[in-house]
Chain A
């Protein structure tokens, strides 16, 4: 089983739609979780950290479910500019992080 698993997509959604991605991780001792956004041929950029209590930043909501070992990202009112690859990142606690393959989102006019 991969350390971090994501559905690579692509997810093609119309503007204004709500879309959700899930990511599962195998190391139950993992301590920190993040969603990064990567645009084509660019470096990943931190979108948000993920906490057990859930956190929200504008149209983006992230949730962590430790019991089931998954994290989720919800994007409301999708914009064309949200088109990117969303990377699930897990930190097992010794600074080295593990990336999922990324989920590609394409928002369509």
Chain B
């Protein structure tokens, strides 16, 4: 299967700071990557679709100015949580699908805690 990595795996930050999370496809190129958020005991919720070389597509209710997505290369997408607040504390996961695959492969996730 394809491998997707994420960094960092865990981050604790103070309220008001910005946090950048990286998602990399290690053995394939991904023109599209997806960012999800999962609160405790809830399902994965798609936040946005990251498109290489163009603007991300955000799901309804997700603030694009708060969650900045940059897909600068075919193997890297970044999610920056700007001016983080405690309610942004969550498990953030990215996924990507290699060409001709239907299934998504997930990164190991980043657990964000905002104090």
Residues of A within 8 A of B (CB): 31-32, 34, 41-46, 49, 87, 89, 91, 95-102
Question: What are 27 sample pairs from A and B whose C-beta atoms fall under 8 A apart?
Answer: A32-B102, A32-B103, A34-B102, A41-B91, A41-B111, A42-B108, A43-B106, A43-B107, A43-B108, A43-B109, A44-B93, A44-B106, A46-B1, A46-B103, A46-B104, A49-B102, A49-B103, A87-B43, A87-B44, A91-B102, A96-B49, A97-B34, A97-B104, A98-B46, A99-B43, A101-B43, A102-B43
- In the complex, B25 has a CB within 8 A of chain A: no
- Give the docked Cα–Cα distance between A34 and B83 (Å): 36
Contact assessment for B43 and A100 in the assembled complex, using a CB-CB cutoff below 8 Å:
yes
Q: A46-B104, A100-B43 are in contact. List 6 more A-B contacts (CB 8 A).
A: A44-B93, A44-B106, A95-B32, A96-B34, A96-B46, A101-B43
Contact assessment for B103 and A34 in the assembled complex, using a CB-CB cutoff below 8 Å:
yes
Given the contacts A32-B102, A99-B44, A43 and B34 also touching, CB distance less than 8 Å:
no
- Give the docked Cα–Cα distance between A34 and B102 (Å): 9
Which chain B residue shows the least CB distance to A2?
Answer: B43
B residues less than 8 Å from A49 (CB atoms): 102-103
Which chain B residue shows the least CB distance to A88?
Answer: B43
Contact assessment for B93 and A43 in the assembled complex, using a CB-CB cutoff below 8 Å:
yes
- Give the docked Cα–Cα distance between A42 and B109 (Å): 7
Contact assessment for B97 and A95 in the assembled complex, using a CB-CB cutoff below 8 Å:
yes
Contact assessment for B42 and A101 in the assembled complex, using a CB-CB cutoff below 8 Å:
yes
B residues less than 8 Å from A31 (CB atoms): 102
A residues less than 8 Å from B111 (CB atoms): 41
- Give the docked Cα–Cα distance between A32 and B104 (Å): 11
